[in-house]
Structure 1
């Protein structure tokens, strides 16, 4: 086997469940950019296998010689492009050893594929490496009753940041005000593949804010919470099950449409411009049911660096499904969503204590190539059913902790589904923060007795009393004052600071209200802690029976009600 073959295989075999651990045998083994697909990582799955069928033993006769990273292999130029394998993989001095971090994880290239891609010199060597992402096919979109409209951003400069979320709104003047439409599919129009990672299309009610030009935004835009379509890198498009469609247009209560881009620009280049968008397929021949999105998952994530396996779970409990499901729900499609540390993921479906099925069994998860599971016939989800989401991460290539967040190099843990009828479910999400059921927010904005409106209102007398008790008796900077422990003990009797609720309050206020007063309060609250991190313990039971709706606190909890 040639040196090129060995290098490709060292990268390739890591993509199967049997050989995934070989990613740890080379520097940046899980972070190699695809040579001809901008913004993709190399996974080598399916038709991308450049070596074709080949023997089952992926290393063939040379396994004994190059089964792992060696100084000799590092110093070779396996693809003949003038750079050593070590230079291409972030180990230019050939000093990396398994279990350590490479000297760099930026500016990488594929050591087994000839560069420059597309040149005459490399044409023959690269003839079996495909750059295709698959064609979009969808039954029904060519019907005479189906119209298509294209929504694109105006040419917009991409910020020189690793991750940017940019929003732009479109009016609905192209549609009749008094006509009902069903959105039955979409496909992407990608203008700049170097930065585009995903697109989310949401319908806005009368409270949505129109944008005359693209503007930076959070993952969720107030007033624009009704998810209509989602595209992410690796998906050719979205095709809705024949019995359903997403209600669309002014008659459906939409004042406008919000399109959100997630741009990834790890090199922080200043010269990128993008004008991507979506082609939407609409029909006035309405289908039997209205469709919608539903998500499960965990919103509290801390992934330490250098770990082989970190497992995070979230349970959508029977209590929650009884609360949010009003009639039998039919799941049409499902897929997993983590980021680049994501390794494996699955959502399991239980009823009456028995497992019915795996809904999204990704043995090998790829952020850049998500697998969409189509259920035909649809899977029925009933009130009282349980959904268990399990996310597995590998952080051996990271030297810093990853946490839950919207950035490409933050992490997430969601199962995302489309379903019908829309009216059968309330809220569209069944999420947790650690063991806290977020479905149990009530219409006053309270969760387990903690009122979030109160916590976010600096003039609220209860909040002022809680903050004052701590700030008047505890040091913001310095050691533990004698009177501080008693003050803290009193404050921690309040439902907002009992058990895991304290951690959730910290997390939410950190994301949505990063004020000087909050910073001082939590510093003072920790001034007598001997541990580096408070143990929030089990979540409280007070208020667990209250009725819930995430919609009543959509702004505060926007980050927990967005799919991507």
Structure 2
């Protein structure tokens, strides 16, 4: 999964986390792109160094000589491609100093790799840079009983948007109606690596509506809620533990499959076409257990700009694991999911107050290259156990606040696991919003709050609550005499009681439900003390890209998705 043999080690690089040092010492150190892997950043794992290094890369020797970013180093052209190091790293005037924001953040290029990539004049200089992303190895898919099913989008124009989620459904006509199948692995086919970030496959029941052409989808389609496979940038594929598989087929209640793409197009180009997909490996030789996905982590994130370290934690408590689990389950794989501000992450397993082990200890986290931890033998998770998720973010090059959201440049904090038996968890998620535990989500409501109702703009109960506040309170001015009583009445509703009010507001922000929502929450605050410290999400600037602030059903309503994953 990681880069290997990319460049010889610099004398300055002494540990596997040395690249973190270089990120802090140069402008846009956390934005250096990989020269031959579109959509990847050069994170430097193990002994890799994003600035180059060793005798075949002059920037490395230059940096070893200067030890820090100086005007002299800035004005050098270390890779000999005609651009100074400063021009490549967003400091063309050589004025950047550690701890400040660079002059430019767009158009950053690699100062230690010759451009243009692949040209004759750069071939010798770049011979140590690998463009490989890893090979898919899965012995279980090579037997005679395994059927290969390749699902691909038809050639589709990529919208000129920073983040797009696009869905398309496929009928399972190739499967026998009276047979049950296990999905035991998948391998990606990436047609346009410039935009593709992740793919999610979900199973659809008979209530689902087929999508006969690719359509923008900010939520998983109704009736398509069972996550079956996930691919994200940097993963060669997924190979399920030999004793488990994901149930598909009509006997399993899955009549079609939905494929969701996450496209990233930060330059909003209009000429991109994509026809990517997945090859699914399916067998009628059922394995011993049915598999499923499990999610834990934090959904309330506010990360200020210019911060070297922001720590967010989430606890899936013993009470929650008892609530969501009917019996012990066994974790087969696990990986972390943050976005580009992600720095370090780990999920820890505790039992009876004692730590048993680390599950996903990423000392160096990379959004573009997730490390998948395979547990062999699988790890037992019991009702009453505790899962602690810790996410560390770094925003030194970001000039705006990042919040939780599905956009590529929003943020997430999740641990994602596959487990068996699937039947042991009816609701396979255990996430928090700040200190609010959300494990009692039953598909429609949380802590007595009907989430679907509160998002339905035609629901009479929702409209009565909104009218009560908007008719009696001033969203843009002072406190009206009749307002406190109106607010007190509305706060008796489970969706607006205590911390649930903040959670409801944050979730509605992510869905981007219109100006009436902003007015409603502003009016709800109109009688609060002016010097009262605010924790309400509406006091923070919105992040995300326009229509794509909406979250998926998996991450907002706590069903099973992924990155962001989106991603």
Name the TM-score, length of structure 2 as normaliser.
0.89
Secondary structure at the residue paired with 1:173? coil
Give the structure 1 partner of residue 361 of structure 2.
361
Q: Distance in 2 between matches of 1:322 and 1:391?
A: 24
Secondary structure at the residue paired with 1:73? helix
Give the structure 2 partner of residue 547 of structure 1.
none
Deviation at 1:308, TM superposition (A): 0.7
Change (3 A) 1:263 1:470: same
Deviation at 1:20, TM superposition (A): 1.2
Deviation at 1:51, TM superposition (A): 10
Bigger mean CA deviation after superposition, 114-123 or 17-26 = 17-26
Cα deviations by residue, 1:426-460 (Å, 9 ceiling, x for unpaired): 111111111111112357x4433433355345566
Deviation at 1:472, TM superposition (A): 2.7
Give the structure 1 partner of residue 195 of structure 2.
195
Unaligned segments of structure 2, at least 5 residues: 1-6, 538-551
Deviation at 1:22, TM superposition (A): 2.9
Give the structure 1 partner of residue 141 of structure 2.
141
Correspondences of 1:111-510 after superposition (within 5 Å): 111-442=111-442, 445-457=444-456, 462-510=461-509
Q: Distance in 1 between matches of 2:405 and 2:319?
A: 27
Deviation at 1:48, TM superposition (A): 5.4
Instruction: Confirm or deny: 8 A CA contact 1:49 1:129 kept in the other structure.
Output: no
Name the TM-score, length of structure 1 as normaliser.
0.89
Q: Distance in 2 between matches of 1:381 and 1:333?
A: 13
Give the structure 1 partner of residue 546 of structure 2.
none
Secondary structure at the residue paired with 2:110? coil
Q: Distance in 1 between matches of 2:188 and 2:37?
A: 16
Change (3 A) 1:11 1:118: farther
Give the structure 2 partner of residue 550 of structure 1.
none
Q: Distance in 2 between matches of 1:451 and 1:216?
A: 26
**What count of residue pairs does the alignment treat as equivalent?**
540
Change (3 A) 1:13 1:178: farther
Correspondences of 1:514-529 after superposition (within 5 Å): 514-529=513-528
Instruction: Confirm or deny: 8 A CA contact 2:314 2:434 kept in the other structure.
Output: yes
Q: Distance in 2 between matches of 1:477 and 1:8?
A: 60
Q: Distance in 1 between matches of 2:102 and 2:249?
A: 51
Q: Distance in 1 between matches of 2:190 and 2:231?
A: 11
Instruction: Confirm or deny: 8 A CA contact 1:219 1:406 kept in the other structure.
Output: no
Q: Distance in 1 between matches of 2:242 and 2:11?
A: 40
Q: Distance in 1 between matches of 2:86 and 2:406?
A: 32
Bigger mean CA deviation after superposition, 101-110 or 302-311 = 101-110
Unaligned segments of structure 1, at least 5 residues: 1-6, 538-552
Q: Distance in 2 between matches of 1:92 and 1:50?
A: 19
Instruction: Confirm or deny: 8 A CA contact 1:329 1:381 kept in the other structure.
Output: yes
Q: Distance in 2 between matches of 1:487 and 1:25?
A: 55
Instruction: Confirm or deny: 8 A CA contact 1:222 1:554 kept in the other structure.
Output: no
Give the structure 2 partner of residue 541 of structure 1.
none
Q: Distance in 2 between matches of 1:447 and 1:470?
A: 23
Bigger mean CA deviation after superposition, 70-79 or 396-405 = 70-79
Change (3 A) 1:305 1:490: same
CA RMSD after TM alignment: 2.9
